[in-house]
Each structure stands twice: as structure tokens, then as C-alpha cells.
Amino acid sequence: MKFAKLLAASALVAGTGLAVPAAQADELTLCWAAWDPANALVELSKEFEAQSGHTMNFEFVPWPNFADRMLNELNSGGKLCDLLIGDSQWIGGGAENGHYVKLNDFFDKEGISMDDFAPATVYAYSTWPKGTPNYYALPAMGDANGWFYRRDWFERDDIKKAYMDATGQELREPQTQKELLQIAQFFQGREIDGQTRYGAAIFTERGSEGITMGATGALYAWGFQYETEPGTYQMDGAVNSPEAVEALEFYKEFYKTATPPGYTDSYMEQGLDAFKSGQVAMAMNWFAFFPGLYQDPDVGGDKIGFFVNPAQNKAASTLGGQGISVVAYSDKQEAALEYIKWFAQPDVQAKWWALGGYSCHVSVLNDPGFKDSQPFAADFLEAMGGVQDFWQEPAYAELLLAMQKRLHDYVVADIGTAQEALDKLIEDWTETFEDEGKL
């Protein structure tokens, strides 16, 4: 099949015009979060080192500290990073504050076309202002928030019968958010193989971005929008719409009735631990972790299944993922641009996917063999077709902290109502945008 040939070709990449004399070789530092895809990138980058003569160093920061560490580095004009794989929400600040090199002229010179990358990833990871042909990153790591479950439990005759008796329905991968909750509630407190199990691991963490990334999975599925009209910053009637209120009430009910006890401040690692230890029947998390989960000796292989975030009023998923940018403060921008050129090649992108990264290149995603290349590949494609992202404004960190507080106060701490939480969130965001001169 074509996809297999493309992967094979990636192993044969030789001279690509990147080679430089040893005297001109540089040491480049690429900064990213510390997680499985970063390890895959280290392996992938060995080819770049061999072809270019440059040496790659890596600065990987654990997710809970990643934003603070890297944004402080950028805001101080630091020279640690020559290349940065920064979160999608940083693109506005990276562009407007001069942290990222604008790549348009480089792309034109090297024949790198953004049409070769999935439109959703170009929009989210590369452009500022949004949707304009002004590029500050190359799409590097496609990602969305998806779900995985204990397929072996779902397929057991005794559990299927118990679910039918309890609900009158077949136990299956959920098709709606409400069916998702119904299944989670069915497993909540259920004894399986002599152990008490729980429904699902969802995001509730307050300190960085966790509860926002989790709750928006429900909010977007109910039809949540940030503005009544894009670009207006008018939020009343959108952020606090009846659908948004219902979705937030749903997320609180999910937390209260279908998650493990004491699950008050959980994000990626805690959700993975809950699933791997057999605590929960289902879990939400980023597609980036799915390759590792599938290979897990205890819960992977035939024991695990994957599904896209279920729709309710619409099909939608919370966007993750990042673009790769050249840091404007780097003294090695020419060599950093060589890395971008190398990484953009279709054969390199094919190997990136094969190693556990999530390519955004259409030659990989549209290949006939892609959907069958991994058990979660088709779900990834579906999710990326309906992703929504948080504000990508330069003031995104302040906007995010406000949402973290309002959601956590309501969902976990039982403060006020969903309507009040969303109304207050609009007040918070309005103040920020007024300070920014946008309202």
C-alpha cells in the first residue's frame, strides 16, 4: 500500500540539500513538553543531525510547568530555545510580542505550502491574526481530546447483560455525551473481578488548564461559542447561553456521579494512572498518549478501545497540539529554519507518525492506509475535523486562569450555579479585553 511505501521511503532519505560543512555546524536546542511524543521527536531528529551536521539538544519540561517555564523564557528574551513547539494558545502572543519569527518569506523561498497541512491545524497552530495567511509556526503535532475504554469489560457477557437490564440498551461505544454519562454511571462503584471500579477519569485540575480542557469537551458538544460573532469579543449570549449552562451542569453531574473518589485536581497523568491501574472503565485524554496506551502490557492491545469525543448538539472536540516556531531571540535562526525545512518533508512526516508523533501533513493523513495504520487513527481524523480551541489572544494566560477558577469553583467546590459561573466568566473576560483595548 502507498502508506507502507511512504514509511519505507522515510528510511532512505539521504542528501536533501541540508548538508553543511562541519565548520558551519550549530548546536540547536528544541524546547517542548516532556511526554511520549517528545521522545519520538528525539529519535526522528537523529536523521536531521546526520544529514545537516547540526547537533540537536532538547529541553523538555513537564506539562504542569511547561507554560510558565517557556512563557517566562520568551517574555525575558531568553536564548535557551532556538526552536519551540509551543501550545496553540500561544500563537497570538508569540506573534504580537515578537517572540516568533514570521515564516512567510521562508515558506515561499523553500516552496513549503500551508495547503500541504490539514486546514484545522494551519488555522490553529500557525496563523495570526486567526485565519489570515500570516504564519508563525509550522503545524507539528496534531492533537485533540479523545476517549479510551476497557474494551474487555464492554465485551463481557455478564457486564453486557447487566447494562441491558439496567438501561434497556446495548453496551457500546457512546454516541452522545448523555450516553457517555449513562455508561460511566453504570460502572460507578461496580465490582469487577473482585475490585470496585468507577465510571471515568475526566479533567478537574485547577492550577494550569485541566478543567477547562475537560469541560470544553462537553461545552463544545452542546454548541458553545466564545463570541456571538467571531472577532467582536461580544460574549453575552454565547459564553452563557442556555446550551452552555446545560453543558456545564452536565460536566458537574459527571464529576459528582461517575468519577473516582477524591478526584478533585486531576489532569493528564492522574487520568492515565486511573485507567492503567484498573480504577475506571473509561477516560478522557489527549490522542498523543494513545500509542503508549495501546502498547501498555496491562490495559493495552485487545483490552483497550478508543472513541472520539461524543457529539450532543454537534460533533466537536477540544483541540490540543502545537506548531513549531523559530524563536526570534535565537542566534542560530538559519540552522533552525533548516530544521523546519527538513521536518516539513512528506517522508519525514510519515516517519513522525510511525514513531508515535501526530503528523498534520495531508500526504500522511489522506493516505488510503492511514485509517488502518493504528487502531485510533480513524478517530483522530474524525476528531481533527471538528476541533475547537480556547482563546489564542496574547492575554490568553489571564483568560485561561479566569476560566479555570470559575469552572473549578462550580464543578468541584460547589460554589454557585452554572449560570452564575458563566456570567462571572464573561465579567472576567470583559475586563481583560477592555484592558487590552479590544472592547
pLDDT tens digits for range 351-385: 999 999 999 999 999 999 999 999 999 999 999 99
pLDDT tens digits for range 215-236: 999 999 999 999 999 999 999 9
Instruction: Quickly count: other Cβ atoms within 10 Å of residue 27's Cβ.
Output: 11
| Contacts of residue 230, Cβ cutoff 8 Å, sequence gap at least 6 | none
pLDDT of residue 22: 42
pLDDT tens digits for range 242-275: 999 999 999 999 999 999 999 999 999 999 999 9
pLDDT of residue 2: 38
pLDDT tens digits for range 105-144: 999 999 999 999 999 999 999 999 999 999 999 999 999 9
Sort strands 55-61 and 317-326 into parallel, antiparallel or unpaired. unpaired
Rounded to whole angstroms, the Cα distance separating 74 from 69 reads 9
* CB 143 within 8 Å of CB 319: yes
Sort strands 138-150 and 317-326 into parallel, antiparallel or unpaired. antiparallel
pLDDT of residue 24: 77
Measured distance between the N- and C-terminal CA atoms of the chain, rounded to whole angstroms: 54
| pLDDT of 422 higher than 80 | yes
- Residue ranges of domains in the chain, CATH in brackets: 2-144+320-388 (3.40.190.10), 145-318 (3.40.190.10)
pLDDT of residue 4: 42
Q: Report the amino acid identity of residue 276.
A: K
Average pLDDT over residues 9-29: 55
| pLDDT of 83 higher than 50 | yes
What is the chain's percent helix, strand, coil content, to nearest 5?
50, 15, 35
Confidence at 3, pLDDT banded by 50, 70, 90: very low
pLDDT of residue 1: 39
Average pLDDT over residues 41-65: 97
Burial of 225 (0-12, 13-18, 19+ CB in 10 A): middle
| pLDDT of 10 higher than 70 | no
Residue ranges with strand state E in 36-100: 55-61, 83-87
Residue 361 DSSP symbol? B
| pLDDT of 17 higher than 60 | no
Run of H or E residues at 383: helix 377-384
| pLDDT of 11 higher than 60 | no
| pLDDT of 178 higher than 90 | yes
* CB 288 within 8 Å of CB 143: yes
- Rounded to the nearest integer, the mean pLDDT of the chain is 94
Q: Count of alpha carbons within 13 Å of 434, Cβ hemisphere only?
A: 7
pLDDT of residue 9: 39
Instruction: Quickly count: other Cβ atoms within 10 Å of residue 77's Cβ.
Output: 11
- Take residue 386 and report the three cell numbers written for it: 471538528
Confidence at 45, pLDDT banded by 50, 70, 90: very high
Burial of 105 (0-12, 13-18, 19+ CB in 10 A): exposed
**Percent of the chain with pLDDT strictly greater than 90:** 94
* CB 171 within 8 Å of CB 162: no
| pLDDT of 6 higher than 50 | no
Ordered alpha helix ranges (H), 78-137: 91-96, 104-110, 119-125
Burial of 157 (0-12, 13-18, 19+ CB in 10 A): exposed
Cell 507539528 belongs to residue: 140
**Percent of the chain with pLDDT strictly greater than 70:** 95
3-class DSSP state of 314: coil
| pLDDT of 184 higher than 60 | yes
